[in-house]
Amino acid sequence: MRKPNSKSFKAPRNRSQNGNMLVLIAAITVGLIVALIFFCLNYARLLGSNSEQKKAIEAAALAAASDLSAIVIPTVEFGYVSLSDQAPIGKVTVAGDRYFLPVRGINTLIGTARADAIVATELYKIDSSPVWTELVQLDLDNTKSVITQLSTVLKAACTPTGSPMAIDRDNNKLDVYQDAQNAYIQNAIRMSGSSSYVPNSLALSVGELSTPAETNIPVPQPSGTYPVDPTLQQNNQYKSYVNIPVDVPTGKMNFVFGGIGSSARLIDVKDFTASAAGVAYHVPAIVKAEADQIIKTSQTPNGAIFHSAACAQPSSVFDVKPAPGAIAIEFPDGILPGFKNPAYLLTTPYMNAGQDCDALSAVGDYPSDAGSSLDTNCPAWPATVVNENKIADAWRITLYDWIRRAGVKVNITDVVNTQKTDFNPPNVATIDWITELTTNPLANTNLTALVKGPQIPFGVMHIYKFNQNGSVVYKSQPVAPYPYEVVGDKQLYAEKLGSAVGPPAVNDFVMPALGTLTFANVTLPDIGNGGGGTGFGKPGPKGPPKGPGIPGGNIIFTTAIDVYVRDQCRVLEVGTPNEGKHGGEPLNDTLVALKKGESNIALSRQSNEYGAGGMGAKGPPPGPKGGGANPLLGAQSDFGDTIAPAEPTLTFKYNSGAPTMRPTYESTGLTGSIRFRRQLQVTGSVLDALTNVLGTKSDIGYVGAKTGGALKTYFTTDTVTVTDDLLNK
C-alpha cells in the first residue's frame, strides 16, 4: 500500500467543525450577555421610571387634594362652606359689620347634625314636640344641599378649564388642575433616556372610598352614654362612607361622613370608587389623579406609553370653637311661681297654648339702626316648622340654635341635665318702690302719703354658656328691665302678649297678684324730664319748674305676662341680598357692666348720663348737665323705644377699621334670649299724663327702671365702663 505524501496531509474535517462551533457558541453567549445587559438596563430604567412616575402622580394627587380642601363657597343654608373647617380670618368672608365669618367643614356639619339628633331625641323625652326632629331634619337636608353645591364646584375645579367658584377664603383663585399638573411635571422622570409627559393627559376625578376610613370628627360625648358601633368608628372618630344611624322619635336618620381626615394622605387606588355602595347619600371628597408618560428605550425607540394613577384624601383643620356662645332666660320683673327649671318653659301650657304668638324677622338691627323694622312675613322662621303661633316653638328654635353652635363637641348629658336643673333663687326677693322713689333726686320729698302699694320683685337672669370642651356652665345674676337687646339683621324675633283683663288663660303661668300703686290727686313741683311733662326726675341747673303736679290714679300690678324671644343665630345665609349684617353670629356686645372688684353688681347699663325721664310724659334728652333717675314706667315694648332718652341697649358692634376676627369667636357672645315681663295697668286721671309713654290707645306698660336706694348694693350708678363680662367669667 502506498503511504500518503506527508506534504499533502490534511487535518480531519471534524476538528474544523468543532472549532467553528466553539466560536459560534462564544459569539452567541456574548450576544446573549449583551442582550441581557441591555434588557437589564432597560428594565432597570423602566422600573426606575415607573417608580418616579408613581411619585409624580402621587404628588399631583396630593396637590389636588390640598387645593380642594381650601375651596370655600357661600351658601344660603350654612354660610361659608368647605371640605375643611376654617377660622374666621378669610378676606372673602367679611360680613356687613366688617368682621370675618367662620367657614364650616362638610364633615363638621354632618357631625353637628348627628349630635343634635341625639340631643333632640333626649329633649323629646322631656318635651314631646315634633319641632326638635323637624329642626334636625332641616339641618340634615340643608347639609345634603351644600354637599351637592360644593361637589359641583370641586368636580368643575378638577377639569382643565377649572371653575370660577374655586377660590379660597382670601379670594385667591385656585387652579386645581394646573397645580396638580405642575406637581406632576416637577416630579417627572429624571433618569437618563428619553421620557416625556403626554401633554394634557392628566385627569382628575372626585369620588369616594369602597373601604371606610377614619375621619377627624369625634363621636358624641359622653361616649359611654351615647356609644357608636365599634365598626363605625376608629380611635373615637367616625369612619367615612358608612351609614351611622340615630333613632329619632320620627324614625331613623342616617348620617354619612366624607373621606376627610386630619391631614392629607395617599389612598390605595383599589379603594377608590365613583360612588360608595349602600350609603344613604354621597359625599365625594377623594381625588384620583391619572396621567400618561412616554418612555423611549432601545427596545422601543418610538416610545411606549405608561399610565399611572394615585388617590389622595383631603384634610380638614378641626375648629376648636373657643367660645360657642351663651343663652339667657330673663325675669326682669321677678321669678314666676312654678318656674323651677328651663324645661318648664317648654312644657307649660301657656307657652304652647293659643294662636297669639307674633313671629317676625328684623330688617336691619332693630331698633338701633335707622330705618330698621320688623318683617311680619318672618322669613327667619324655619320653613319646616309650620306653626308660627306658639311662643314655645320660638324658644325651641332659639334653644336649638344655641346647641347647634357647640358643634360636634356638645356634651349631650350637660344639655339635657341643664333643662332639668332648678334655677338659682334671686339674690333678694323684693325691693320697696317707695324707698326707690325717696332717693335722690326726691330725697327731700315725703312720698309716703303719695304712693301706697307693693314691693317690686327682684329681677334675675339665668345664663347658660358652652365651654370650649362642649360642657355647659350655668350662672345667674340680678337683672334690671334693661339693658334691652336688639334683634340682629335678618334674625328671628317673637312675642306673646298676655291678657290683663279677666282671669289668665292658663293658671299655671301668672305672676302673683301684688296689688296696686295708688297716686293721690296732689300737686307737686314739676321735676320732670326737661320737656315740660309731669314725672319724677332730677331738676335742671336752674331748679325745678312749676307744673300741674301728679293727677290721681292707679298703677295695677296685673297677673298677665308678656314673653319675648330673640334668636340671633338662626339665619346663616351669605352671598345673597338676604345676607344679614352679622351672618348669624352671636350678639358681640357685652352682656353686663360690672365694677371692678365687686361681684354682686346687677346686669345694668344705667348711668347718670342716661337719666332725665320720669314717670310721665316723654320729653327730649337732657342737656349736658342733665341726669337723674331712669323712668319708672315704660310702654308695653321690650325695646325701650318709647323712653327718652333711650334706655341702654345691647347692640351689635361694628368694626370701623380693616376687617378683623369677630370678638365672639374667642369670647362668649349671646346667641339668644327669652324675657318675661309683667303687665302694669294704669287707670284714672294719671293715664292722661302717661299717653306719651304708653301710647294714646294703651293703658298697659312695664316697670321701666329700678334705681338707687336699696338697689345700690346691686346696681351700679357710675358712668358705664365695662370691666368684666359675666359670659366670659
Contact indicator for 131, 393 with CB cutoff of 8 Å: yes
**pLDDT above 50: residue 489:** yes
Cα–Cα distance measured from residue 315 to residue 260, given in angstroms and rounded to the nearest whole number: 5
For 264-292, how does the pLDDT look when each residue is reduced to its tens digit (9 = 90+)? 999 999 999 999 999 999 999 999 999 99
**DSSP-derived 3-state class of residue 482:** coil
Q: Binning pLDDT at 50, 70 and 90, where does residue 717 land?
A: very low
348 or 208, which is more confident: 208
Residue 74 pairs with which residues in a beta bridge?
A: 80
pLDDT at 587 over 60: yes
Alpha carbon distance 469, 321 (integer Å): 9
SS3 sequence of 87-132? CCCCHHHECCCCEECCEEEHHHHHHHHHHHHHHHHHHHHHCCCCHH
- Rounded Cα distance, 307 and 57, in Å: 10
Angle at 490 between CA 488 and CA 495, to 5 degrees: 70
Q: Both ends of the chain: CA-CA distance in Å?
A: 136
pLDDT at 709 over 50: no
Would the pLDDT of 655 be above 50?
Answer: yes
pLDDT at position 722, please? 30
Mean pLDDT for all residues in the chain: 77
Query: Rounded to whole angstroms, how far apart are CA atoms 686 and 552?
Result: 6
Is residue 236 scored above 60 in pLDDT?
yes
Q: What is the mean pLDDT of residues 130-156?
A: 97
Sign of the C-alpha dihedral computed for residues 670, 672, 674 and 679 taken in this order: positive
- Residue showing cell 344660603: 76
**Contacts with 642 (C-beta within 8 Å, 6 or more apart), sequence order:** 618, 634, 635, 692, 693, 694, 695
Confidence band for 708, pLDDT divided at 50, 70 and 90: very low
Give pLDDT, residue 319. 87
Residue among 393, 430, 721 nearest 570 (CA): 393
Q: Write b or e for each residue in 16-42: b if 16 or more Cβ atoms lie within 10 A of its Cβ, otherwise e.
A: eeeeeeeeeeeeeeeeeeeeeeeeeeb
DSSP secondary structure string, 533-596? Answer: --S-----TT-PPP---B--EEEEEEEEEEEEEEETTS----SSTT--TTTTPPB-S-S----T
Instruction: Please give the pLDDT value at position 559.
Output: 77
Q: Which residues contact 644 (CB under 8 A, 6 or more apart)?
A: 529, 531, 612, 613, 618, 619, 620, 621
Residue 576 cell numbers, joined: 345673597
Confidence band for 301, pLDDT divided at 50, 70 and 90 = low
What pLDDT does 551 receive?
Answer: 55
Q: What is the pLDDT of residue 626?
A: 23
pLDDT-derived band of residue 498, with 50, 70 and 90 as boundaries? confident
**Cα–Cα nearest to 430, from 714, 724, 728:** 714
Q: For the chain, what percent of residues have pLDDT higher than 90?
A: 50
Non-local (6+) Cβ contacts of 455 within 8 A are 430, 431, 432, 433, 514
The neighbour count for residue 696, using CB atoms within 10 Å, is: 7
Contact 339, 682 (CB under 8 A): no
Give the model's confidence band at 694: pLDDT under 50 very low, under 70 low, under 90 confident, else very high: confident
Q: How confident is the model at residue 58 (pLDDT cuts 50, 70, 90)?
A: very high
Best CA proximity match to 114, nearest among 239, 234, 209, 208: 239
Residue 299: is its pLDDT beyond 80? no
Give the tens place of pLDDT for each residue, 510-546. 455 545 554 443 333 322 222 222 333 333 333 333 3
Residue 683's DSSP bridge partners are 554
pLDDT of 605 reads: 25
670 contact partners, CB below 8 Å, separation of at least 6: 325, 326, 327, 328, 485, 568, 586, 587, 591, 650, 727
Is 622 or 417 the better-scoring residue by pLDDT? 417
The upper half-sphere exposure of residue 535, i.e. CA atoms within 13 Å in the direction of its Cβ, equals 34
| Over residues 406-433, mean pLDDT | 86
Mean pLDDT calculated for residue range 187-194 = 59
The reported pLDDT for the residue numbered 522 is 36
pLDDT of residue 549: 45
- The C-alpha atoms of residue 281 and residue 208 are separated, in whole angstroms, by 11
- Highest mean pLDDT (candidates 293-302, 358-367, 499-508, 607-616): 358-367
pLDDT at 372 (0 to 100): 93
Predicted pLDDT of residue 439: 43
- One-letter identity of residue 332: P
Backbone φ/ψ region at 278: left (φ over 0), alpha (ψ -120 to 50), beta: left
Pairing mode of beta strands 451-452, 515-519: antiparallel
Asked which of 45-59, 111-125, 406-420, 490-504 is least confident by mean pLDDT, the reply is 45-59
Asked if pLDDT for residue 119 goes beyond 90, the answer is: yes
The pLDDT tens digits for 256-268 are 999 999 999 999 9
Find the mean pLDDT for residues 205-223: 95
CB 690 within 8 A of CB 614: no
196 bridge partner residues: 294
Which region holds residue 643: left if phi is over 0, alpha if psi is between -120 and 50, else beta? beta
Give pLDDT tens digits for 369-382: 999 999 998 999 99
pTM of the model: 0.82
> What is the distance between the alpha carbons of residues 517 and 528, in angstroms, rounded to a whole number?
19
Distance set, CA 176 to CA 71, 95, 198, 265 (Å): 10, 27, 19, 17
Pair 218, 237: CB distance under 8 Å: yes
**Given this model, what pLDDT does residue 431 score?**
58
Long-range contacts of 295-300 (CB under 8 A, 24+ apart): 295/45, 295/46, 295/49, 295/189, 295/193, 295/194, 295/195, 296/193, 296/194, 296/195, 297/42, 297/45, 297/46, 297/193, 298/38, 298/42, 299/38, 299/39, 299/42
Contact 483, 328 (CB under 8 A): no
- Which residues does residue 436 pair with via DSSP β-bridges, in sequence order? none
Residues 6+ apart with CB under 8 A from 172: none
Say what the pLDDT of residue 10 is: 53
Residue with cell 331613623: 252
* CB 304 within 8 Å of CB 313: no
Amino acid 590: pLDDT: 64
Residue 481, pLDDT > 90, answer no
**CA gap 54, 76 in Å, rounded:** 41
pLDDT band of residue 100 (cuts 50, 70, 90) is very high
Lowest mean pLDDT among 78-87, 137-146, 252-261, 533-542: 533-542
